[in-house]
Amino acid sequence: MKHIDKTHQKAYNDRLTLLVMKLRSSRFFSHIENRRGVRLFSFGAVAVACTIFGILIASNVDLTPESNAQISTNIGQTGLFPVVGHGDDMQSPFVAVVEKAADAVVNISAETRRAEGPWWYYGTQTSTSLGSGFFFREDGYILTNNHVIRDAVEMTVRTAAGYEYQARLVGADPQTDLAVIKVTPEEQIEVIPFGNSDETKIGDWAIAIGNPFMKEGLDRTVTVGVVSAKGRSSLNFGSDTPGYQNYIQTDAAINPGNSGGPLLNLRGECIGVNAAITSPTGTSVGIGFAIPINLARAVVPDLIENGRPSRGWLGVRMSKLTEKEAKRLGLEAVRGVVVESIVDNSPAQRAGLQHGDIVVGFDNKEVKNENQFSVLVSSVRQGEIVPMEVIRDGEHLSLKAMIGDRDTFLATIDEQNQQAPDRSGFWLGMEVIEFTPRIAEDIGAEHVAGLYVVGIYPGSAADRASIAEGTIIMKVDNEPVGTLSELEGAVDAIDRGKSRIPLIVQEPDGSIARKVIRK
C-alpha cells in the first residue's frame, strides 16, 4: 500500500466522500430507496463506499490534488454501475449515447378537427396533441406512434436545430400503434439505427428520449432505466389498444409527450418505440411500455411502400397450452400453443397442421403463447416459407408453411358474409347451429333458446369480438334468435349502414354477456 501522509489525507478523504455522494445521488440508490426503504439505501451506500475504498487502496492509487489519473470503477463483471471520469469530472456511460442520438429525436404537433355537436351545426373544434418521433432515414422519414398522429389534418415537426417542417403521413398501422411520417429536411439530420430487440435481455440498460414540449424549453428529455420485462401483452389502453402486443417493459420514465420517442441500448441503437405507461396518476410510476423495434422492422417497409401493413396469415385458431397438458407430454416447460381449428385450404392445412398439434417453434423462434405466436405469424410476408416445430402425440415434427395474406382472406370472408348467414349458419366469421336440448344435455348445460357457436374463423369479425366456440348467441341487435331463420331475419333487419351490431350471448362458462361485433 502506498503511504498517504497527513498533508494528503484530507484531499484523499474529500475525494472519496465526493465519489460516494455522487454514487449515492445516482439512480441506483433512488431505485433502492423507492423499493426497499431507507435502511437498505444506507446499507447500499456503506457497502459501495467500502468497496470503492478497497479498490482505491488495493489499486495503489495516489489521489493527491495534482493527480490526473483516470478513475474507472466497475462493480461486477457486467459493469452494472460504470463510472468513468477524470478527477472530479465524473461522467456516466449514457452521455455518449445521448449526444449521438438526441438530435435525431423530434417534436410532433398533430392538429385534429372534429364536429362539435350533430351535423356540424356548431362548427368544428380544433385540438392539438404533442408527441415525439425520430429520424431513421436521412431522407426525412420519421417513426412515431399511430396514436400521436391519428386523425391529424396537419402535422408540424420541430427538430433539435430549431427547424420547423410540415409533415405528411406515409403510412399508419393502428394494430401495432406505429406510423411513419415524412418531411423534406433543409438541414443535415441525424438518424438513429435500428437494433435487434430479440437480443435485448431483461436487466439491460434502457435509455428513453422524448421531445415533448419544445416551446416550454422542455425538449429532448432523457430518462434511464432497465428492461424490466419482455413480451408483455393483453394490455388495455382503451380505444387506442393495439391488436398486436409484444411490449418491452421498462422503468425508464415515459411521460406524456414522450410517446413515439426511441428506447435505446448502450450502443445507441433503437430497441423500441416508447408507447404507453400504466399509472393511476397519468405520470410515470416506473411501468412503461415500448413497441419492440423488430416488430417495426416488419411493418415499416409496408407502410413506406403501400401506406398500410401486409400481415402474414396461417389460418389457425390457437389456445393456451396448460401445465397439465405440458406435463402429460413430458415437456420441461409450459411453452407452445395448441391448434384448436384450421381453416379449409389455408396455409396451415396445406402445411399439414392438425387439430391438437402443439406448435412450439415458428420461423426458428420459440413459441411462448398465443399472442406472441400471432405477432410472429403477422410479421412474415406473404409467400415466404417458414419452418415450424410441432409436437403431435408426443412426437416432434418439422413442417413448412407458405404464409398467406391476412387482409386478402378477411376481405373474402367479409364479402361473402356481410349481409345474411348462409344455410349452414355461417355469419361474420362464425358457424352456428341451433342449440337443441340434446346439445345442452351433451355439454351438461341448461337449455336456452339460441344458436350454438361451433366454429370461428381466425381473424374474422367474430374472432375480433372475442366470441369463442361454445358461446350461445341469444339476441342479435336486440332480436331473439333461436333458429337459423330467426338469425337470417334479424340480420336482414339491421340497417345496412350500421357497423356495430350488439349481441346478447351466454359464454361457455354460463355467464351472460353483451358483445359488439363489427361488420
Indicate the domain borders of the chain: 6-91, 93-306, 312-407, 418-518
> Which residues, in sequence order, are CB contacts of 168 under 8 Å at separation 6+?
155, 181, 182, 183
CB distance 126 to 110 below 8 Å: no
Residue range 486-503: mean pLDDT, rounded? 83
Give the position of cell 404537433. Answer: 109
Q: What is the pLDDT of residue 317?
A: 82
Q: Which of 219, 195, 217 is nearest to 105 (CA)?
A: 219
pLDDT in tens, 49-69: 444 444 433 333 333 333 322
Residue range 15-42: mean pLDDT, rounded? 39
Residue range 242-253: mean pLDDT, rounded? 91
Domain 418-518 in this protein, CATH class? mainly beta
Q: What is the pLDDT of residue 327?
A: 83
Q: What is the pLDDT of residue 5?
A: 47
Active-site residue (options: 132, 147, 460, 463): 147
Residue range 490-501: mean pLDDT, rounded? 80
Q: Which CB contacts under 8 angstroms, 24+ apart, belong to 34-40?
A: 34/286
Q: What is the pLDDT of residue 321?
A: 86
Buried-state track 106-115, b at ≥16 Cβ within 10 A, e below 16: bbbbbebeee
Residue range 175-204: mean pLDDT, rounded? 95
pLDDT at residue 71 above 90? no
> Which residues, in sequence order, are CB contacts of 147 under 8 Å at separation 6+?
177, 240, 259, 275
What is d(CA 300, CA 309) in angstroms, rounded to the nearest whole number? 8
Helix (H/G/I), strand (E/B), else coil: 165: strand
Q: List the single range of 161-170, 329-338, 507-516 with lowest mean pLDDT.
A: 329-338
Of residues 454 and 216, the one with the higher pLDDT is 454
What is d(CA 173, CA 301) in angstroms, rounded to the nearest whole number? 12
What is d(CA 28, CA 435) in angstroms, rounded to the nearest whole number? 61
pLDDT at residue 216 above 60? yes
Cβ atoms < 10 Å from Cβ of 89 = 8
Q: How confident is the model at residue 388 (pLDDT cuts 50, 70, 90)?
A: very high
pLDDT at residue 41 above 60? no
Q: List the single range of 45-49, 243-247, 497-501 with lowest mean pLDDT.
A: 45-49
Of residues 435 and 39, the one with the higher pLDDT is 435
Q: How confident is the model at residue 16 (pLDDT cuts 50, 70, 90)?
A: very low
Alpha-carbon Rg of the chain, whole angstroms? 29
Q: Which of 476, 311, 337 is nearest to 408 (CA)?
A: 311
Residue range 226-235: mean pLDDT, rounded? 91
pLDDT at residue 244 above 60? yes
Amino acid at 504: I
Q: What is the pLDDT of residue 382?
A: 83
Q: List the single range of 275-289, 362-376, 403-417, 435-449 with lowest mean pLDDT.
A: 403-417
Q: What is the pLDDT of residue 172?
A: 94
Q: What is the pLDDT of residue 51?
A: 43
Q: How confident is the model at residue 330 (pLDDT cuts 50, 70, 90)?
A: confident
Q: List the single range of 4-18, 195-209, 419-433 with lowest mean pLDDT.
A: 4-18
Residue 171 burial by CB count (10 A; 0-12/13-18/19+): exposed, middle or buried? buried
Question: Is residue 447 annotated as a catalytic residue, yes or no?
Answer: no
- Mapping DSSP onto H, E and C, the string for 449-469 reads CCEEEEEECCCCHHHHCCCCC
Question: Is residue 26 annotated as a catalytic residue, yes or no?
Answer: no
Q: List the single range of 49-63, 411-425, 442-456 with lowest mean pLDDT.
A: 49-63
Buried-state track 120-141, b at ≥16 Cβ within 10 A, e below 16: eeeeeeeeebbbbbbbbeeebb
Of residues 11 and 287, the one with the higher pLDDT is 287
What does 304-362 look like in DSSP terms, one character per residue? HHHSS---EE--EEEEEPPHHHHHHTT-SS---EEEEEE-TTSHHHHHT--TT-EEEEE
Q: What is the pLDDT of residue 255?
A: 80
Active-site residue (options: 109, 132, 173, 177): 177
Q: How confident is the model at residue 499 (pLDDT cuts 50, 70, 90)?
A: confident
Q: What is the pLDDT of residue 239?
A: 65
CATH topology of domain 93-306: Thrombin, subunit H (2.40.10)
Q: What is the pLDDT of residue 173?
A: 92
pLDDT at residue 86 above 60? no
Amino acid at 508: P
Q: What is the pLDDT of residue 422?
A: 45
Q: Which of 174, 175, 182 is nearest to 155 (CA)?
A: 182
Active-site residue (options: 259, 341, 378, 379): 259
pLDDT in tens, 89-106: 567 889 999 999 999 999
Same CATH fold, 312-407 and 93-306? Answer: no
Helices marked H in 1-37: 6-24, 27-36
Q: How confident is the model at residue 202 (pLDDT cuts 50, 70, 90)?
A: very high
Domain 312-407 in this protein, CATH class? mainly beta
pLDDT at residue 32 above 70? no
Mean pLDDT of the chain: 78
Residue range 231-255: mean pLDDT, rounded? 85
Among residues of the chain, what percentage have pLDDT more than 90?
A: 39
Residue range 282-307: mean pLDDT, rounded? 91
Q: What is the pLDDT of residue 66?
A: 33
Q: State the maximum Cα–Cα separation within the chain, in Å, rounded to a whole number.
A: 101
Whole-model pTM: value is 0.62
What is d(CA 273, CA 13) in angstroms, rounded to the nearest whole number? 44
